[in-house]
Chain A
């Protein structure tokens, strides 16, 4: 790092009053644009392009340039390679992206050594931010958004429940969060099935739920084809007709609702962003997105993370100028409090994890469009895993 410092010093000497000159601040984003998770990259890009279209590319005369890298199908070695290239060759001043947990974990060492402020736009396993002091997360953790749902279910007259979760780490985290808080509230679990990721037909699982006569079913599956097939099977199999309430997380984001029939109406979910909320920030956000990516564009968790991540980059450059150290940037960002389209957000200064509202919503039909309508807000939700595991590294 001595070399970089020397170069910086030399550059400063050559340019003299460097502060006054226009500079380019580069923000490198590593995300999947191809393979099974391609939709994440696309949603990040749309919202970040929309942000730049609305706010311009200049901050106080300095250009913010975004550099994209496609890490394909969740390949950790690619993620690490790109981080190195972006830092050494492209001289980015901030990194961001990361859809899956291994992609984020793979760069922890690199960003720690190079003191590179890194904004996680999705990767949701709780422990990630403890792996480097330069990680800051603007997405969520699963316990954070699922805990309120478990509590809500227990409090609102649901006595028995069943969980169906994909059998992989995020599925286990979601299941744990729901079960723990539902039981703590006095609820009784009738079954907890974990579904192999290779499964595409969910009929036998729904049949088990139906037989169990549980009052509610909590589901968790990777967003996209698996989660859609799962919710469809719930609809089709008459679980709703049998009076079973469907509880979910990101499975029924508005972007996926056209994939289901009207029978999805009434599904309860809890996430950190309600697409249809009427905050002025959200209306502006959605308009910017439509201007950028077309009239049918619907934001999701990825878009809101991209938008807020980009906002943090702009705010940092606005406050610190075009040159800053990683420590300065992280210190600045984690102290930031502002009104996001999702609601007020701030950061846990120790864990560098986002603190935000979690909304309990119900799928409804308004003006012929299926939307999520929030009806309960849990304010300032933290990541409960960190509180439960203060010393885990």
Chain B
């Protein structure tokens, strides 16, 4: 930025002294001696107080020093003299944002078209919806940027909380509010109060989708398979097209030793949402338990096509080794066991 402004500076009344300080400032900055650069550019600004570029240069060096408080005044002065300096707007907006003056920074960042910082400023200024749009736009250009992903997730979270607050305030006794509160408490591991809200939701609207599923998840996570089966069974009955409910029901049935029923539920899940490796692993295990080696083998092979190196692949190789051993296919069993151990070794 400094280099770009130099020709501008030189186009004005350049005295030898001014020229000397400009050169010294540039040289010091290039050498990384920012304190000297500040001194030189401050002198330039004194010698040419009505020259916007002089103030921009001083502000830019402060900005580079991360002395955001100090850079605000020269940048403001520069923009008073010439409001059409996008670089100065960008630096001023960033400096204000860095000091927590998010609302004030927004106008400058808009003029600078700095989408990423503008998104953050909007978020911190409470304009969450606009923040999401800006951050999404920035993320398209830098999809792996950790800062952008963080702020975008914050923005979505805040938006979600705003909507949740609105729901709670507008319909405090509704089934949806109860479901929402139950979900939030369940996610935080507060099982008993979560169950109370979820039961309240069902009392208000027995046909509300998703409540039984959340209850089932809660029971499953604490190893209560009996209650988990009841809840997932109810969800699967109410929402027959839900692959997730059918999968969880199958998983629970399998662990309770109801192998035939588990196979039926898991096959339904696999039809509703083909190529979900979690379903296929459990279906493979259920088929192997039922002695249906060919079907089990097919499932585990498919898991390996979908996820050749994941934790599920480890299970698939391990299960295939057991199946092949049972079938007397020693070489295949050996190969699968080796592959299992290789994957396991990498993970460890």
Q: Are A and B interaction partners?
A: no
Identify the A interface with B (CB < 8 A).
none
